[in-house]
Structure 1
Amino acid sequence: MCWIWTASGDWGVVAVAQDFRRVADQVAAEIAAGRLRPGDRLPTQRAFARSRRIANSTAIRVYGELVRRGLAVGEVGRGTFVRAAPPSPGHALAEEPAATGEPAATGSPTARPTVNLELNYPVAEGQSQLMAQSLAGLLRPDVLEAATRPAAADGTPEAREAAASLLARGGWRPDAGQLLFAGNGRQAIAGAIASFVRPGGRLGVEALTYPLVKAVAERLGVSLVAIAADGDGLCPEALYAAHRSAPLSAVYVQPTLHNPTSVTMSEERRAELAEACAHLDIGAVEDTTWAFLAAEAPAPLAAHAPARTVLVDSLSKRLAPGLTTGFLVAPTDRTGLLADAVRSGAWTAARFNLEAATRWITDGTVATVTAAKRADTAARHRLVQRHLGGFRIRTDPRAYYCWWELPAPWRTDTFVAAAAARGIAITPGQAFAVPPHTAADAVRIGLASPPREVLSYALETLAELAAQGPPGGP
Structure 2
Amino acid sequence: MEDYQRIADAVAADIAAGRLRPGDRLATQRAFARAHGIANSTATRVYRELTRRGLTVGEVGRGTYVRAAQHSPGPALAEPADPARRPRVNLELNYPEVPEQAALLAQGLSPLLRPDVLSAALTMAPATGSPAAREACAALLARGDFRPDPDGLLFAGNGRQAIAGALAALVPPGGRLGVEALTYPLVKSVAARLGVTLVPLAGDAYGLLPDAVRTAHRGAPLHAVYLQPTLHNPLGVTMPAERRAELAGTLRALDLWAVEDAVWSFLLDDDRQAGLPPLAALAPERTLLVDSLSKRLSPGLTVGLVLAPPSYTERVAAALRSGGWTAGAFALNATVRWLCDGAVAAIVEAKRRDAAARQALVREHLAGFRVHADPAAYFAWWELPAPWRAETFLAAAARRGIAVTPGAAFAVGPEGAHGAAPAPGAVRVALAAPAADELTHALTALAAIARGTPEDCVPD
SS at match of 2:259: strand
Match of 1:432 among 399, 405, 410: 410
Tell me, which stretches of 5 or more residues in structure 1 are unaligned?
1-19, 38-50, 52-58, 60-70, 88-106
Q: CA deviation at 1:225?
A: 0.5
- Residues 280-299 of structure 1 mapped to structure 2, 5 A cutoff: 280-295=254-269, 296-297=272-273, 298-299=276-277
Q: Which amino acid aligns with 1:358?
A: V
Q: Alignment RMSD, CA only? A: 2.7
Match of 1:457 among 441, 444, 447: 441
Q: CA deviation at 1:170?
A: 2.5
- Residues 30-45 of structure 1 mapped to structure 2, 5 A cutoff: 30-31=20-21
- Residues 259-270 of structure 1 mapped to structure 2, 5 A cutoff: 259-270=233-244
Q: CA deviation at 1:74?
A: 3.9
* 1:428–1:443 CA contact under 8 A, matched in 2: yes
Q: Which residue of 2 aligns with 1:132?
A: 106
Q: Distance in 2 between matches of 1:470 and 1:422?
A: 13
SS at match of 1:275: helix
SS at match of 1:404: strand
Q: Which residue of 2 aligns with 1:378?
A: 356
SS at match of 2:312: helix
SS at match of 2:132: helix
Q: 2:157 aligned with 1:183, yes or no?
A: yes
* 2:155–2:162 CA contact under 8 A, matched in 1: yes
Q: Which residue of 2 aligns with 1:423?
A: 401
Q: Which amino acid aligns with 1:448?
A: A
- Residues 75-94 of structure 1 mapped to structure 2, 5 A cutoff: 75-76=70-71, 83-86=76-79
Q: CA deviation at 1:435?
A: 1.1
SS at match of 1:459: helix
Q: 2:379 aligned with 1:410, yes or no?
A: no
Q: Which amino acid aligns with 1:155?
A: G
Q: Which amino acid aligns with 1:288?
A: A
Q: 2:172 aligned with 1:198, yes or no?
A: yes
Q: Which residue of 1 aligns with 2:148?
A: 174
Q: Which residue of 1 aligns with 2:301?
A: 323
Q: Which amino acid aligns with 1:85?
A: A
Q: CA deviation at 1:27?
A: 4.7
- Residues 346-385 of structure 1 mapped to structure 2, 5 A cutoff: 346-385=324-363
Q: Which residue of 2 aligns with 1:393?
A: 371
Q: CA separation of 1:166/1:80 partners in 2, compared to 1, >3 Å: closer, same or farther?
A: closer
Sequence identity (%): 57
Deviations 1:187-215 (A, max 9, x none): 00000000000000000000000000000
Q: Distance in 1 between matches of 2:25 and 2:240?
A: 49
Q: 2:128 aligned with 1:154, yes or no?
A: yes
Q: Distance in 2 between matches of 1:33 and 1:72?
A: 6
Instruction: Tell me whether 464-473 or 437-446 shows the greater mean CA deviation.
Output: 464-473
* 1:286–1:312 CA contact under 8 A, matched in 2: yes
Q: Which amino acid aligns with 1:447?
A: L
Deviations 1:297-335 (A, max 9, x none): 311110011001010000100001111100110111111
Deviations 1:251-286 (A, max 9, x none): 001000000000000111111111111111111100
Q: Distance in 2 between matches of 1:342 and 1:280?
A: 27
SS at match of 1:371: helix
Q: Distance in 2 between matches of 1:335 and 1:282?
A: 17
Q: Which residue of 2 aligns with 1:308?
A: 286
* 2:89–2:434 CA contact under 8 A, matched in 1: yes
* 1:85–1:109 CA contact under 8 A, matched in 2: no
* 2:15–2:21 CA contact under 8 A, matched in 1: no
Match of 1:441 among 425, 430, 433: 425
Q: Distance in 2 between matches of 1:115 and 1:31?
A: 15
* 2:379–2:428 CA contact under 8 A, matched in 1: yes
SS at match of 1:380: helix
Q: Distance in 2 between matches of 1:320 and 1:401?
A: 17
Aligned residues: 403
Q: Distance in 2 between matches of 1:463 and 1:32?
A: 19
Q: CA separation of 1:33/1:394 partners in 2, compared to 1, >3 Å: closer, same or farther?
A: closer
TM-score by length of structure 2 reads 0.83
- Residues 223-238 of structure 1 mapped to structure 2, 5 A cutoff: 223-238=197-212
Q: Which amino acid aligns with 1:182?
A: A
TM-score by length of structure 1 reads 0.80
Q: CA separation of 1:215/1:73 partners in 2, compared to 1, >3 Å: closer, same or farther?
A: same
* 1:312–1:327 CA contact under 8 A, matched in 2: yes
Deviations 1:212-263 (A, max 9, x none): 0000000110011000010110000000011111110000010000000000
* 1:83–1:420 CA contact under 8 A, matched in 2: no
SS at match of 2:311: helix
Deviations 1:107-128 (A, max 9, x none): 7278441101000110011211
Deviations 1:7-51 (A, max 9, x none): xxxxxxxxxxxxx9x9669954445995659xxxxxxxxxxxxx9
Q: CA deviation at 1:291?
A: 0.2
* 1:36–1:82 CA contact under 8 A, matched in 2: no
Q: Which amino acid aligns with 2:316?
A: L
Q: Distance in 1 between matches of 2:23 and 2:268?
A: 47
